[in-house]
Structure 1
C-alpha cells in the first residue's frame, strides 16, 4: 500500500507540472484558436531568468515570485505583439509554424547564453522532508501541487466573473461576433499570451524547486501537451485535471508495468479517451449548422 501511495503522490507531483503547462496551451487556444508550441521554451527561458534572480540573497522566495512572474507576462506580451499579431489573417498553419520557429530560437539563445551544463537551483523553500503518514514530500513538491490548485481557482473565477474572462470566452466562441459586440480582440489575444507565459513561468519555477536547471526542461512542453488534449484543448481548468491524470497514469504504469511503458502510457490513455470523447474530457463540442 505504501508503494502505491508513493507512486500516486509522485504522479500527482509531476502531473501538477503537466497541468500548469497544459493551462498555458489551453489559454492561448481558447482566446485565439491556435496552438502555441513555444510554451516549453518560454518555461525554460523564464526558469533561467529566475535562476539569475535567485542569486540575489535579499530577494527571497516571495520577491523571486513577484519579480519573475511579471517578467514572464511581459515576455508573453512582447511575443504576441512582435511575432503573432502581424500574422493575423494568415493561415493557421503559418501562425503555428511561427511558434515552432520561435521555440527553436529561444532554445538556441538560452544554450548560447547559459550553456548546456545543469545548474543547481537554490532551494529557498528548504530541503527538509515533510512527512504525511507514510508519504514524504519536499517543499518544492508541495508548492507545485498547491500552486496548481490556486491557479485553477483563479482561472475559474477569471472566466466566470471578470469582464476580460467573459470577453475571452465570447472571442473563443466567435471572433467575428465578438468584434461586432465591441470586444477588443487584439487586447484579448495579448492577455492570453501573457497568461500563457505566466503559467509557463510557474511551471518552470516549480520544476527548478525539485530538480536541477538544464536546457532539457523545454521538453516538458511537449510532454505536457497530451494533458491539454486529454482535458480539452479549449478548457484551461480541464488541462490542469488532464495533467494530473497523465502524471498518475505514467507513474503507475512505470511502477507496475515497467519503465519502458511509462513514456507511452499517457498517449495510450489519450487514444482511448479521444475515441469516446473526441473533444477531450472537458472540451466543448463544435457544432456546425449548414
Structure 2
C-alpha cells in the first residue's frame, strides 16, 4: 500500500508539472492556432533565470515568483514581437518552423550562459515530509499541485470573465470576425505569448525545485505534449486535467509494469483516445458546412 501511495504522490507531482506546461501550449494555440514548439525551452530558460535570481539576491519562493513571472512575461512579449509578429499572415507551417528554430536558439543560449552542469534550486523551501491523507509529499510537491489548481481556476475565470480573455476566445473562434468588431489580433497574440511565458515560469521553477535544474529541462515540453493532445489543443483547462492523468498513468505503469513504459505510456494513451475522440477529451469538435 505504501508503494502505491508513493506512486500516486509522485504521479500527481509530475502530472501537475505536465499540466502547467500543457496549459501554456494550449493558451498559445487557442489564441493563435499555432503550436509553440519553443515552449519547453521557455520553461527551461525561465527556471535558469529564477536560479540566477536566487544566487544573486537570495530570494525565497514567493518573492522569487513575484520577480520571475513578470520577467518571463516580458521575455515572451519580446520573442513574440521579434520572431512571431512578422510572420502574421504566413502559412501555419512556416510559423511552426520559426518556433522550432527559436527552440534550438534558446537551448544553445542557455548552455552558453549557465553551462551544461545541473544545479539545485530550493528557494528556501523546507525538505520535510508532509503527509496528506496518508500520502507522503515534500513541501515543494504540494506547492506544484496547489499551483496547478490555482492556475486552472484563474485561467477559467480569466477566459470566462475578463475582457482580454473574451477577446482571446473571439480571435480563436473567428479571427476575421474579431477584427471586424475592433479586436486587435496582434495584441491578443502578444498577450497569449506573455501569459504562456508566465505559466512557463511557474512550471519551470516548481519542476526544478522538485527534481533538478539542467539543460535537458526543455524535454519536459515534449513529454507534456501528450497532455495537450489528450485534453484538446484548444482546451486550456482540459490540458491541465490531462496533465495529471498522464502523470499518474506514467508513474503507475512504471511502478507495476516496467521502467520502459513510463516514456511511452502517455503516447499510447493519446493514440487510443484520438482513435475515439480526435479532438481530445475536452476539445471542441470542429464542424464545417459543406
User: Structure 1 length normalisation: TM-score?
Assistant: 0.98
CA offset at residue 2 of structure 1? Answer: 2.4
- Cα offset for 1:4? 1.6
Aligned to 1:148: 148
User: Is residue 44 of structure 2 the alignment partner of residue 35 of structure 1?
Assistant: no
In structure 1, what is the equivalent of residue 117 of structure 2?
Answer: 117
- Once structures 1 and 2 are overlaid, which stretch shifts more, 99-108 or 124-133? 124-133
SS in 1 for 2:288: coil
SS at match of 2:55: coil
Shift of 1:133: 4.8
Q: 1:196, 1:58 → 2: CA distance?
A: 26
Partner in structure 2 of residue 88 of structure 1: 88
* Contact residue 20 and residue 203 of structure 2 kept, 8 A: yes
Deviation per CA, 1:210-264, whole angstroms, max 9, x where unpaired?
1221101110000001100000000001000110000000111001111111111
- Measured after TM superposition, the shift of residue 162 of structure 1 is 0.7
Residues matched between the structures, number: 290
> 1:8: which partner in 2?
8
Matched residue SS, 2:60: helix
Task: For 2:101 and 2:166, locate their aligned partners in 1 and report how far apart those are by CA, in whole Å.
Answer: 31
CA deviations on 1:105-125 (whole Å, 9 max, x unpaired) are 000011011100111223411
The aligned residue for residue 201 of structure 2 is 201
Which moves more between the two structures, 226-235 or 3-12? 3-12
Q: In the alignment, does 2:289 pair up with 1:278?
A: no
1:216-235 paired onto structure 2 within 5 Å: 216-235=216-235
Deviation at 1:276, TM superposition (A): 0.9
Question: Pairwise CA RMSD of aligned residues?
Answer: 1.0
- In 2, the alpha carbon distance for the partners of 1:70 and 1:162 equals 19
The runs of 5 or more residues in structure 1 that have no matched partner are none
Deviation at 1:56, TM superposition (A): 4.0
C-alpha separation in 2, matches of 1:273 and 1:124: 41
Query: Residues 159-194 of structure 1: CA distance to partner in whole angstroms, max 9, x if unpaired?
Result: 111111111101001100100011111110000000
Whole-Å Cα distance in 2 between the matches of residues 141 and 230 of structure 1?
A: 24
Alignment match, 1:189: 189
Tell me what 1:47 maps to.
47
